[in-house]
């Protein structure tokens, strides 16, 4: 199993560098988390969706059988002001995933919310953006069964 990851990127960055960081490894499964930084940089949910469609096109042109698990954009404490855009982008991307064979939308955001509908502080580190170890444990419980 090859694990390739880099932080701070946007969907278009991954698409641009896909041949170097992704496609050359010929993965059977791609777990893809992106979109959070896109919205934070000012992109609209529609642009995030369009960039996701381009990512799918690039990957499936070279790897038509690759399964893609798209991890939903998470709501976070520090970017709570973007929550409506997060929900809109997730909705658009989820609809695309449902109609695209081999692509699955994985909701990893709702587990981060408390009964009050707000992000649970213990699931984030001090910056209110990145997950704490406990937050990653929750994500691992969601994603691991999908990899088998």
Domains with residue ranges and CATH for the chain: 11-147 (3.40.50.1110)
Q: How does residue 4 score in pLDDT terms, banded at 50, 70 and 90?
A: low
Q: Is the pLDDT of residue 31 over 90?
A: yes
CA distance 133 to 97: 28
CA distance 110 to 117: 9
Q: Is the pLDDT of residue 7 over 90?
A: no
Q: What percent of the chain has pLDDT over 90?
A: 89
Least confident of 3-7, 21-25, 140-144: 3-7
CA distance 123 to 13: 27
Q: Is the pLDDT of residue 14 over 80?
A: yes
147 token code pair: 């990899």
pLDDT value for 12: 96
Quick check: 131 and 139 in contact, CB under 8 A?
Answer: yes
Per-position b or e across 67-91, b if 16+ CB within 10 A of its CB: bbbbbbbbbbbebeebbebbebbbe
| Average pLDDT value for the chain | 95
Q: What is the DSSP track for 129-146?
A: SSBPHHHHHHHHHHHGGG
Q: Is the pLDDT of residue 3 over 80?
A: no
CA distance 105 to 92: 11
Least confident of 11-25, 33-47, 95-109, 119-133: 11-25
Nearest by Cα to 52 from 83, 23, 95, 82: 95
Q: How does residue 2 score in pLDDT terms, banded at 50, 70 and 90?
A: low
Each residue's pLDDT tens digit, 74-128: 999 999 999 999 999 999 999 999 999 999 999 999 999 999 999 999 999 999 9
Distance of CA 147 to the CA centre of its chain: 16
């Amino acid at each position: 199993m090859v694990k390739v990851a880099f932080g701070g990127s946007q969907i278009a960055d991954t698409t641009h560098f896909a041949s170097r960081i992704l496609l050359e490894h010929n993965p059977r499964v791609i777990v893809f988390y992106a979109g959070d930084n896109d919205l934070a940089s000012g992109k609209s949910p529609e642009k995030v969706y369009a960039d996701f469609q381009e990512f799918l096109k690039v990957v499936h042109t070279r790897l038509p059988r690759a399964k893609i698990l798209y991890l939903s954009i998470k709501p976070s404490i520090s970017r709570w002001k973007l929550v409506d855009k997060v929900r809109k982008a997730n909705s658009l991307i989820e609809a695309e995933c449902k109609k695209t064979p081999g692509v699955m939308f994985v909701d990893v955001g709702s587990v981060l919310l408390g009964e009050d509908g707000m992000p649970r502080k213990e699931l984030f580190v001090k910056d209110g953006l990145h997950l704490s170890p406990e937050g990653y444990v929750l994500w691992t419980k969601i994603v691991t069964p999908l990899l088998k």
